[in-house]
Each structure stands twice: as structure tokens, then as C-alpha cells.
Chain A
Amino acid sequence: MRLEDKLYLIGFKVDEVGGSHLAIKDKSTCLVCEMKQCLYVCPCGVYEIDEIKNEISINYDACVECGTCRVSCDDIDWRYPRGGFGVSYKFG
């Protein structure tokens, strides 16, 4: 089953106004990062390489707030989404 189809099953309320609750503290760090683990450890594929800008892009609207990226990389500024936004599981 494709990840895209799984993400479709999850309830999200995206904070269009507040924007991303995730950020990269220093993007120049990514350029010299060899593992680039954010690209594969995230269960929801939030982090992707933006080939044009040559940087990591963040699809925060697919984030389930697990915290794996935060534990994996010190360069990620990790916050909770604003109250009521983000993932909302049906089963849990």
C-alpha cells in the first residue's frame, strides 16, 4: 500500500494560517549532512529534497507529530501544531 493512500486515511486539520510547526534551524547544515535521515525515518514522508532550491522541504500537513525527526536530528525545530490543529486519529 502506498504511503500517499495511507495518509489519506488520517484525519488532519491543517493550520493554513499559522503555517508549519516544523522548521530547519540552519539549512546550511543539511547541505553537509551525509545521512539525511530525515528523508527516510519520518513515517509520513514529511521531509523531501527540493531539487530546484537544493534544500529540504517540509510537508508539515502530513505530520502526525510523532517526534522521530526531532530525536533523529538536532537541526530540526520541533513544536506542537497550534491547539486543535494537526493530526486527529479516529482509532488511535
Chain B
Amino acid sequence: MSDIKYDVAIVGAGPAGLSAAIVLAKAGVNVIVIERGRFPGAKNVMGGVFYTDCMKGIVEKFPNGAPVERHIVEQRMWMIDDESYVGFGHKNAKFDKEPYNCHTVFRAQFDKWLAKQATDAGALIVNQTVVTEPIMKDGKVVGIKTGRPEGDIKANCVIVADGVNSLMAKSLGFRTKLKKESVALAVKEIIGLDEKVINDRFNVTGGQGVTIEMTGSLFKGAEAMAFLYTNKKSVSLGVGMIIEDMIEHKINPNELIESLKKHPAISPLIAGGETKEYLAHMIPEGGYNDMPQLVGDGIMIAGDAATMVNAVHREGSNLAITSGKLAAQTYLEAAEEGDFSSASLSSYVDKLQESFVMSDLKKYKALPKLLQKNRQLLDKYPKLMNDAAFELLTVDGVSKQEKQKHIWKNMKQQIGFTNMLKDLYKIWRSVG
């Protein structure tokens, strides 16, 4: 590999790296993608919802020919407690029209397909190869070292898209270590079910699908985020928790997902299903404030490696795709001048600022810290809502006025009226 110099070397064949590769290859750029898995997607995991809009300018007529599962027509949000939930949902026939807003996907299959689009456009993808560190010359990145013998790859520019653990960002000194208070671990099971059973249980037909997002404490009193997404012949059931909370509450992720599977609201939805795969992946939830340095001399960082996850809206892969596309566009502009310095590539950051990526990350930038310091927001409130709903809806001879009084008393005891107002204000400040 050492004799050839590439225009661009990309670390990681996930959504960020592959979207960059597609845009570059289509523009006639000599691009190589290095992937450590046996094939692109082999090590890639997400909950499973992929948004269509980000594919503009990447793949024409998406999702034609792409391995998507179901298009989502209904989204449910549940505040969950040990044996109950209070929910909100939105089902809309507009979500049932092409181009669909989003689909469930399996990343091992989806990324493999996306990689095919990159190679068809002319990119070279090398699998089963670990990138160990950048090659530096006079303080500039001029390529990457791989685990292969004579595996140095020289390039004008390197795009780092090696995911949440990004050992590249670490070795470049672009980021400090991942913080246990702002990174979540999610575990997931793919549970096989008959297609008709899924349609009946979720009240959908054809290719329609449903998502359920859950928040609350469902195991050992620790706040968890969980999800259930419908695929064609399976559901993806997962649960995540901030790693610091897992440590503190002594939570084992497998026990956590097992308890979710037994939850009375979940268990009938997966009854009779057979687990096909068990997966685990970290989610960088620190948002804007946790972002590493994004640009250096001869280098740009995209996707999860750059903490581009909007945890509030469970978006990540669309931010990855968009950032990869913007990194590629930045390269194309820089190549016109032949200038790959940090100053020249800094227009990547400007492009991100102008796009929804940075705008959304900035909008919610105070939220990770707010939730770190105010665990009651995702723990006590769901419980209170569930208690209140149960009390109001139970007919037991107690007057409604008495019930309301009791609910208020309970809320005041648990949190306090002033604290409730403060919490409301904090949330409004963070997400409003």
C-alpha cells in the first residue's frame, strides 16, 4: 500500500466515512476507506431508525434497492415505571407517503449496502484492517498507519470516522477521554416474530412500522432509556443507561434487558419471539460540549467519533451521514487551492454550523449536564406521572377532589412545588 498516495484516506466504513467516500468518489477523487471489520457494518450497531432526508446528494432515489425494514408511521413515547407506563403517541398518514420520513434498518446489512454504493462510485474499501495511528510530518497529518505489514497509507487528507471509541481522535490528542457521565451503553436484542403477528400487535399493515421510546426507572431504581422498533420479521428491543449510573447502581446490562423483556407492557409485544442476536454499543450523549477538536492540518473528524449524536431525538446516523458529506465537500474546495491546512479545512466547521447538525447539537447543549445533575427529571417524574394516572383512574369510592389533593401532596413531598417550577424552567431553558 505504501507506494500509492491517495487523495483522501478515510478511517471507518460507517455512515460518516461512507457518505464522505461516496461524495468524493463521485467527484473523481482517489479515495480509500479502511475498515477493521470483516465487511462494512460487521461491527456497527444502532437502535435502528434511519432518517431519509440525509441521503440527498449521497444516493439517488433512496430507499430504492436499500435494505430497509419498515417505514415508521407511528411513534410512541412512554414514561415507564416498574409495572406501568404513561404514554403519548403520534400516528400520521403523512408518514405513510413516499419519501418516507424514516425506516428501521439493520446496520450490518445497511452499511454493507452503503459501502457497495461507495465502491460502485469508485472508492476503494479495504476491510479487516485496523488503523493504528496517523502519520505525522512537520505537525501535519499526511496519512495513516495500519496493522498490516508495510501498511502505511499516504494521503492529502484523512477523514476520521472510526466511531464512538475513536482511538484516532485520542491518538491525535483531539479529545480527552470519554466521560462515564456522558456516555451511555445500550444493549439490544433482535427478537424474531412472524410478520403477521407484528402487524396485528402493532396495528399496522404492509411495510408500516412503529417505534416506542421509553424513559424511566425500570430496574434497581436507575434511570434508563429503552426502545422497541418494529422490523419486517422481528423487533429490536433495547435499553441504555449512562455508564456512571450503571456503575453506581451496580447494574449488569444483560439483567437490565432481561428485566425490560419481563415488563408487563413489553412482554406481550415480544411473546413467542426468538432472540436472533444480542448486541451492545456505546452512545456518546455528551453532545455539543463534549465535541472534540474537529479539524487539524490534513484531518477532519465526523460522526460518532466527533460526538455528533442528538440523544433527545435519537438521531445519530443522519448527523454522521451529513457530517461525512460536509467533510467531503470541504475537501473538494480545499483541493481546488491545494491547501489542506487546518485554516483551509476549518470551513468544515462553518458548514456544520450552518447545517442542522451543529444547530441541533447547540440547541440541546445544556441538556446532558442538566440531566446529570437532576436525575429526578427522568426518574422521579415518570414515577409520579404513573402514580398519578393510576390514582385518578382507579374508582374506589374516594372523590376526585380528594385524589387530586393526594396527588399534589405526593408531588410536593417527593419533589416540592418550588423545585417543580425550577425543573420546568430548566427544561424549558434546555430544550425550548
Pair from one complex: yes
Binding site for B on A (CB under 8 A): 1, 3, 6-7, 9-10, 13, 35, 37, 40-45, 64-68, 70-72, 74, 78-84, 86-92
Bound CA–CA A84/B36 (angstroms): 6
B164 within 8 A of A: yes
B243 within 8 A of A: yes
Bound CA–CA A92/B280 (angstroms): 9
**Does B44 lie within 8 Å of A89, measured CB to CB?**
yes
Contact of A10 among B44, B180, B185, B278 (CB under 8 A): B278
Residue among A1, A40, A78, A89 facing the most chain B CB atoms (10 A cut-off): A89
B366 within 8 A of A: no
Taking the nearest CB of chain B, how far is it from the CB of A76, in angstroms? 12
**Does A66 lie within 8 Å of B111, measured CB to CB?**
no
Q: Which residues of A sit under 8 angstroms from B108, Cβ to Cβ?
A: 89-92
**Does A91 lie within 8 Å of B277, measured CB to CB?**
yes
Taking the nearest CB of chain B, how far is it from the CB of A68, in angstroms? 5
Q: Which residues of A sit under 8 angstroms from B106, Cβ to Cβ?
A: 91-92
Taking the nearest CB of chain B, how far is it from the CB of A8, in angstroms? 9
Chain A facing B: main interface SS = loop
Interface residues of B in 233-250 (CB under 8 A from A): 234, 243, 246-247, 250
Interface stretch of the complex, out of B16-24, B125-133, B336-344: B125-133
Q: Which residues of B sit under 8 angstroms from A79, Cβ to Cβ?
A: 167
**Does A87 lie within 8 Å of B42, measured CB to CB?**
yes
**Does A41 lie within 8 Å of B247, measured CB to CB?**
yes
Bound CA–CA A82/B106 (angstroms): 24
Taking the nearest CB of chain B, how far is it from the CB of A67, in angstroms? 4
Closest 6 interchain pairs by CB? A92-B108, A84-B128, A92-B107, A6-B278, A43-B280, A43-B253
Q: Please, which residue of chain B has its CB at the minimum distance from the CB of A68?
A: B185
Q: Which residues of B sit under 8 angstroms from A74, Cβ to Cβ?
A: 177
Assuming the contacts A72-B247, A84-B38, asked whether A44 and B280 have C-beta atoms less than 8 A apart, the reply is yes
**Does A92 lie within 8 Å of B253, measured CB to CB?**
no
**Does B276 lie within 8 Å of A66, measured CB to CB?**
no
Bound CA–CA A29/B247 (angstroms): 17
Contact of A43 among B129, B147, B254, B277 (CB under 8 A): B254
**Does B178 lie within 8 Å of A71, measured CB to CB?**
yes
Q: Which residues of A sit under 8 angstroms from B234, Cβ to Cβ?
A: 91
**Does B165 lie within 8 Å of A92, measured CB to CB?**
no
**Does A86 lie within 8 Å of B43, measured CB to CB?**
yes
Extra pairs beyond A1-B275, A82-B147, A87-B42 (12, CB < 8 Å): A40-B251, A43-B254, A68-B185, A74-B177, A87-B43, A89-B42, A90-B276, A91-B109, A92-B41, A92-B46, A92-B106, A92-B109
Q: Which residues of A sit under 8 angstroms from B41, Cβ to Cβ?
A: 89, 92
**Does B254 lie within 8 Å of A71, measured CB to CB?**
no
**Does B243 lie within 8 Å of A72, measured CB to CB?**
yes
Bound CA–CA A92/B261 (angstroms): 19
**Does B276 lie within 8 Å of A41, measured CB to CB?**
no
**Does A91 lie within 8 Å of B243, measured CB to CB?**
no
Encode B104-140 as 1/0 by CB contact (under 8 A) with A. Answer: 0011111100000000000000011110000000000
Bound CA–CA A91/B105 (angstroms): 9
Q: Please, which residue of chain A has its CB at the minimum distance from the CB of B34?
A: A83
Contact of A9 among B45, B147, B277 (CB under 8 A): B277
Taking the nearest CB of chain B, how far is it from the CB of A26, in angstroms? 17
**Does A3 lie within 8 Å of B254, measured CB to CB?**
yes
Bound CA–CA A83/B117 (angstroms): 23
Q: Which residues of A sit under 8 angstroms from B45, Cβ to Cβ?
A: 89, 92
Interface residues of B in 20-79 (CB under 8 A from A): 36-39, 41-46
Contact of B279 among A1, A67, A68, A89 (CB under 8 A): A89
Q: Which residues of B sit under 8 angstroms from A6, Cβ to Cβ?
A: 189, 254, 275, 278
Encode B146-176 as 1/0 by CB contact (under 8 A) with A. Answer: 1110000000000000001101000000000
Bound CA–CA A9/B279 (angstroms): 10
Taking the nearest CB of chain A, how far is it from the CB of B133, in angstroms? 12
Residue among A67, A79, A82 facing the most chain B CB atoms (10 A cut-off): A67
Bound CA–CA A80/B162 (angstroms): 11
Taking the nearest CB of chain B, how far is it from the CB of A13, in angstroms? 7
Assuming the contacts A10-B277, A84-B127, A92-B106, asked whether A67 and B178 have C-beta atoms less than 8 A apart, the reply is yes
Assuming the contacts A41-B246, A43-B254, A72-B180, asked whether A88 and B38 have C-beta atoms less than 8 A apart, the reply is yes
B258 within 8 A of A: yes
B144 within 8 A of A: no
B281 within 8 A of A: yes
25 contacts between A and B (CB under 8 A): A1-B275, A6-B189, A6-B254, A6-B278, A9-B275, A9-B278, A35-B247, A40-B252, A41-B185, A41-B247, A42-B253, A43-B185, A43-B253, A71-B243, A74-B177, A82-B130, A82-B147, A83-B128, A84-B128, A87-B43, A89-B43, A91-B190, A91-B234, A92-B111, A92-B279
